[in-house]
Each structure stands twice: as C-alpha cells, then as structure tokens.
A and B are shown apart, each in its own frame.
Chain A
C-alpha cells in the first residue's frame, strides 16, 4: 500500500522524539499549533508529536491522556499499545502525562459533527473539519462521551507498531542484519542466533532515527490481548486498599479545608460569622470563597466541623422557587420561539395526525446528581516561584489549568496538573468547582498546599445535575402498525450551561436536547423529532449518557404506547420498523437471549424492550419483572450492544452491567428536587441509586458486526428505564411516564 493512501486513510503519521535517556513515539500531525508536551523546551509549533509510548532506562511507559475514573481506560489504552509493541502488558507503566492541547479528543468532535450536518457527503465533511478544528482550538482534552476507545483504536496501535519496527531497525543496524530477520518478544528484539537487545537499551539509539512508517497492523487472528479477557492492572490495588485516589494524596506541609456553600445553588455569600468555628480545636483559618466560606484546619473532620459551625447570610438562587415552577417552564417551552432544532422530519406528520385519532402522552425526567462515591477534592499549592501545582482527578485538565491560572494571576502553562485516580465520575469530573475553590483558598496562603475535600452533603447539593426534561409524544396507528410518531422534547441546554462555566459560548442548536431520539433507527413513515430549549432552570452538566439519559426513555416509552394502540408486540413491531441491519442484529440478539414470546409472561410477570442508539452504539435491553407482595422485582436484564470490537470482554461486561444498574437505579429511586434553589437530597439516604438487594441478573452480549470501534461507558444507560417501564406495564397494566418510578410503584 502506498504511503499517501495510508496517510489519507489514517490521517496521521507516526513520529518520534528524543527525550531524556530515551525516545517517545506518537502521532505526528502537520501544522498542529501544539508543542509536544513532553518537550517543553521546544518552541510553539516546532514539534507536532502527540506522544503515546515512552521508552527509556526506566522501561516502557504508556502516556494515557484519557482520565480513568473506573471505566478501565488505562487498561484499554495499554492493551492497544502492547498488542503491537510486543511488551508484556503487566510490565507497562501508565502515566497520565502532563495536560496538553496535543492530546485533543478527535472522536468527541466527530460525535458533535454528526449532529451538525446529518446528511452525508461533502457538506458533512466540511462540518466535521470545522468542528474538529474548533475542538482542537480549545484543546478539549476531555474524557467523556464514550470516546476513549474509538479515539485510541488506530492511533495507539499504530504508535506501538511503528515503535516496534523502529526498534528492530536499530538492532538490525547494530548487528548488521536485516530487520526482517529479527523478531520481538516481551520488550526485546531477538536475532536468529539468539542474541537479544532490550527495548530500553535500544531507546537512545532509536531517538535519532526516522520512525518506520506504514507498518501494517496485525490482523485479529494474531492478537494476543485485544478481545481476550484481561487482568486489569489496577485490580489488585483496588482490592487491597492500596490504590491512591485524589482524596488520599498527601503533600508535605498540607492543610485541610472544607467549605460551607450557599444552599441556594449559585447564590452569593452576603455575610458570615465564624467566631464559633475559629474557636474550635485544629481550626487555623476561615476565608470567604465564591458562594461560601472555607474553613482551614489540621484534619479533614475538623475542617468539616468548623464549616458546619459557620453562620451565614445568603443571596438567592436564579431559578424558580418550587419544582412546580421548574416543570412549568418546561411545559411552556414547547413553542416555535423556543424551538432549538428539528433534525428529523420524515413523511408528512401533520397530515397523518389530522387524518387519524392521535395517541398522546407526556413524560418527565428529573434532575439527577452524579454522586460518585469519592467526594470531589483537590490540592492546590501556589509556589513562591510563580507556578502552581494541582493534584486532582479531572476529565478537563486544560480547563483546570486556565481557571487556576486566572485565580492565581499567572499563565495557564505555569499550572502543573498532577492527574489522580478518580473514584467514579459519571460526568462529575467534567466540572472543576472544587479545584477553583481550593485555588481561591490557596492564593490566600502562598506556599502552603491546601487540600479541599467537599463533604458529601456539599458534593451532592452543589452538583450540577443531569438535565430536567419533559417530552410530548403524539402519533397514530393504522392496520396494526405505527403510522406516525411526533416527539417534542424540552430541556435546558447542557452544552451551554457547562461550557458557559468555562467562559465559552456555544452558538447554534444543542445536539444534546434531541440526542437519543432523533437518530433512532426506525423507519416510521411519518416521523418528527423536535427539540425545545428551556431557559431559567438550574445549572446542569453532562451526566452519564447526557441528553440520551432522558431521551432514550421518552423515545421508547412513546413508541411503546403507539405499539400498544396498534395492538402489536413491542419486539415484533420494533423489528418490523428497524431500518439498520446493525440495529436489527442487536434487537434479535436480545429477543433470542430472553426467549421473547410476547410481553406478557404469565400472572404478574412481564417483559419490556428498548433500543437506543447513543454515542454511535446500538444498545438493546429486555427486562423481566415480577409483581410480588413486596413490590416490583426486577428478575433479569438481557443486554446486547454493537461496538465494532470488544477490546476487553471482562471489562466490557462489567461496564455494561454497571451502566444497566446505573440506568435502572436512578430511574427507580432517584431525583434531585430544588426548593428555593436548594437541593433537597443531601446524602445517600435520600439518593440511593440501586443497592445490591435490587440488582437483577444481567446477561451481556457484545456484537462486532460494524467497522467502527465504539466505547461502552454510556450506551447501556438510556434503554434501561424504558425497558423497565415496558416490563412493569406488561406485568401490571400500569404506564409509567415519569421518573423516578418509585413515586408510582413500590419496588421490592
């Protein structure tokens, strides 16, 4: 294959760069404005390498720019490199590397581009390039949107392959042999006569060589790691209490801080009285921060106690006083003026609706907290030399640099972010309030590292939650089939809210308002999806599967009601309407796994089905429930997802099952409600998610029919709620149109 074609297909080249005592391999890009973050000495634009593998005397280190918050991102990235590099995966060290714009997330911008111009062809390409350029411009080194695997799939393997061949070339030159005579194994190059050279020994020599390009990637038959069950590198530490999370980090001379924030979200601090707190043992200082007061003490608990002892006067929040007010805003947003987008309009919906007797229903999804188990925390130290060190688990290290830099009055490039292991995120670590608060405290005590830990109550009530949303579905049926389906969805713009906090304005429609609804693979003859933007609600953020987390429920629940009106079977009618063979295979898989023979399963038992396409992944679920004396019991969940390639089956299964539990637990049991701008749920006793007793058996199947390699963190979430609602309807005859469902039915 010629070089030009290879480049066109992959759109990148492998480069290498000398580093102290070794060499780094990575993706070479032309005209990139970003300097190689591992070579801070180089001038801007001079180096254009995104490093992935570093080989030096210390061994082989994988630079993993994507944060790991429990989804096994480090492991997947290590496997892709090791597959081509021929190193033992257990021997690879992972290093999140310094935050850098060179690690921009290409796959995330593709996701955005798909929405911008749904039609294919040249226009789409223009849009993609445009969006990619924008994403690159703001240097979105973001972990989110299930983009880790697709973004890494080609780049990491190619980097590994190129590094391997270059190492062989170096050994070949030394031995006077042809590279083709040599083989590699476990981090060594081996000659036919048995002579060996470790990669680490060859590294300095390789640093001066042109990397070997266009190495053919290994075919699936030759894979040693990909697709095979893997032992995750972090599992032993996570099973022995020896994994260090951000909250565990200690820095020499560190003080502990806690904050008391205005209960009304976003409201200001008017005045405070800290006399009681200041008299408490271990409390060494009290300082105001944005929207609250911080207490500094010599241990975490004493700081918490001090914060609880503060009396303060607060300003009001900018949102409706009551939940009725929130719902009313949504209800009044279904207007032409508030219309945000109408990305789907097939057939003639108006004619179909006026020609029949439309079925109509309204659906609601509440605010939801992210509430990962590790409360958010950060350590910030303002150094005497004008630089700043930050230790925190974050999905947005570049924004952290900018924001801390602004607070400290220094350049963002003088902020060093030491990325830490994250105890769960679900989107929570796409925000950096805790880091900003820590920085505000730290600037008032230069030289002292300040560790700020949010008390659980602060974390939960001051989360930027999942969007609240409302949908209105209408449709008609004819001859036992769905004939028309018109779905309107109203919600605030998560993109505007989230990016707004980073000082960015995002013009144009927000794809998340209709995500998980407009792009569904059903050929309903007359089909329309319209998004409406609601203003004046609580500030929100990305929550595992974002817009699709509410819209997957709306879309499938509305479709189910139409199917019922048509007198059809939820599975059969979906199979009849499904328009993409990949989606059909996913539905057929869950039908087969569950032995689907209609929604009713006998007295008090029923099953429901839902399919959602989100983040480019088709994911279908069949859920079986029993109506017992103690309430509804979820017996089984069958899940199938089309992901192109299952990189690690063990982690895949865990991620999918976890996504199902996450989707179900919140649909059943959770909501955040605001009174006077204050979140009413403060801790896990009023915001439980799912507990072990409620957890069903979960059967998982990954399908590999498509070409595109996809991540699986988010797609299992959206279909969970509607499949459960369908099952409960089949078992009890009760339609659930609002989450959480435990407001209307009891769960065992």
Chain B
C-alpha cells in the first residue's frame, strides 16, 4: 500500500482497516497529528486529503484517496503557514493538544471560503473540540489568517 504524506511517498505494510491516524502516528512517526477520541467527536486528528479536511481516525489506510497533508506539512516553525502565524499572533493555545486539528480545519475552511462570516466559522469549526476553551481566540485567529491570505 502506498500513501503520500507531506510530499513524501511511503510504502506501507499494514491492515487496510488501520485508521490513517495510527498509520501517521505509529507507523510514520508524525506525532503532530493527535488522538483525542477515535470516533470523529473531537477533531484533534484532522488532516487534509486532497486539500479537504478529514478526521484521520475515520479514514481507513486502504481508503486514502489522495495526498495527505498534516500539521507538520502545512508549515514549520521556520516557515509558518498564515493560519499558524495567526495562531501564534493571538497566542491561541493553552494545552495546545487540540490545536493541530483546529489549524488544519481552519486552513481548509479558508482555502474554500477566503472571507468567512461568523456563521461560516462557527459551522466549520464546531466539530473541533477544545477542552481548554480557547474558542474566542480561535475565532479571532481565523479572521486574522483570512486577512493575511487575502492580502498575500
């Protein structure tokens, strides 16, 4: 089985039913992708497949239909994606554990809806649980990122 993650192709020998989340974390060592619930109820495991935000805990390894981008491929501390830069500017994170998923969800939203309304943001981000309650800053950071991306 072959999958492409963050621009690198990988040959895998795993059960086709193993969730992508665990392929990424345990087989490929990409720990930026987080496990929170395993049942599509928290969004911590969000990655992009072909640019679309998906819950990697719900995608079987055998069903991955396109190139995967994780938080580690979106940008790095040295080369931040605009959403990551906005997250840092607003100092969104508390424990930070949900933020990989929040950022991936927000990046996909902005790719599709460059100038989201408050309702758009609420709707797109509602599946991403933050137990620390950083929601006000998530909203603000999404708006800042939208601005940067539009100006950029």
Q: Which of A230-266 contact B (CB under 8 A)?
A: 231-232, 234-245, 247-248, 250, 256
B131 touches which one: A235, A281, A424, A693 (CB < 8 A)?
A424
Interface size of B by CB at 8 A reads 60
B44 contacts A695, CB within 8 Å?
no
Q: Which of A403-436 contact B (CB under 8 A)?
A: 422-426
> A375 vs B41: C-alpha distance in the bound complex, in angstroms?
14
B133 contacts A693, CB within 8 Å?
no
The interface of chain B, by Cβ under 8 A from chain A, is 15, 18-19, 21-22, 25-27, 29, 31-39, 41-42, 44, 70-72, 75-77, 80, 84, 87-88, 91-100, 103, 121-123, 125-139
A658 contacts B129, CB within 8 Å?
no
B18 contacts A239, CB within 8 Å?
no
Tell me the dominant secondary structure on chain A's binding face. loop
A373 contacts B22, CB within 8 Å?
no
A243 contacts B128, CB within 8 Å?
no
Interface size of A by CB at 8 A reads 64
The smallest C-beta distance from A74 to any residue of chain B, in angstroms, reads 12
25 sample A-B contacts, Cβ–Cβ < 8 Å, listed by A number: A231-B88, A235-B91, A236-B77, A239-B88, A239-B103, A240-B32, A240-B76, A241-B33, A242-B72, A244-B31, A250-B29, A299-B26, A300-B25, A301-B19, A373-B44, A373-B98, A425-B95, A651-B91, A654-B91, A658-B133, A661-B133, A691-B127, A692-B121, A692-B128, A692-B135
> A70 vs B94: C-alpha distance in the bound complex, in angstroms?
4
Binds B, one of A17-25, A287-295, A682-690: A682-690
The smallest C-beta distance from B10 to any residue of chain A, in angstroms, reads 15
Closest A residue by C-beta to B138: A692
The verdict on A132 contacting chain B, using a C-beta distance below 8 Å, is no
A-B pair number, CB within 8 angstroms: 180
The smallest C-beta distance from B64 to any residue of chain A, in angstroms, reads 15
B96 touches which one: A234, A651, A690 (CB < 8 A)?
A234
Closest A residue by C-beta to B42: A684
The smallest C-beta distance from B119 to any residue of chain A, in angstroms, reads 9
A456 contacts B94, CB within 8 Å?
no
The smallest C-beta distance from A690 to any residue of chain B, in angstroms, reads 7
A301 touches which one: B18, B33, B93 (CB < 8 A)?
B18
Closest B residue by C-beta to A696: B136
Using known A-B contacts A660-B133, A689-B129, A691-B126, determine if residue A243 contacts B96 with beta carbons closer than 8 Å: yes
The verdict on A372 contacting chain B, using a C-beta distance below 8 Å, is yes
A240 touches which one: B80, B125, B138 (CB < 8 A)?
B80
Q: Which of A348-397 contact B (CB under 8 A)?
A: 371-375
The interface of chain A, by Cβ under 8 A from chain B, is 69-72, 231-232, 234-245, 247-248, 250, 256, 281, 299-302, 304, 371-375, 422-426, 453, 455-456, 650-651, 654-655, 657-662, 665, 683-685, 688-693, 695, 697-698
- Chain B residues contacting A243 (CB-CB under 8 Å) are 96
> A422 vs B131: C-alpha distance in the bound complex, in angstroms?
13
A256 contacts B26, CB within 8 Å?
yes
Using known A-B contacts A234-B93, A424-B95, A685-B39, determine if residue A240 contacts B131 with beta carbons closer than 8 Å: no
A683 contacts B39, CB within 8 Å?
yes
Closest B residue by C-beta to A426: B131
> A662 vs B92: C-alpha distance in the bound complex, in angstroms?
16
> A657 vs B140: C-alpha distance in the bound complex, in angstroms?
14
B32 contacts A242, CB within 8 Å?
yes
- Chain B residues contacting A247 (CB-CB under 8 Å) are 34-35
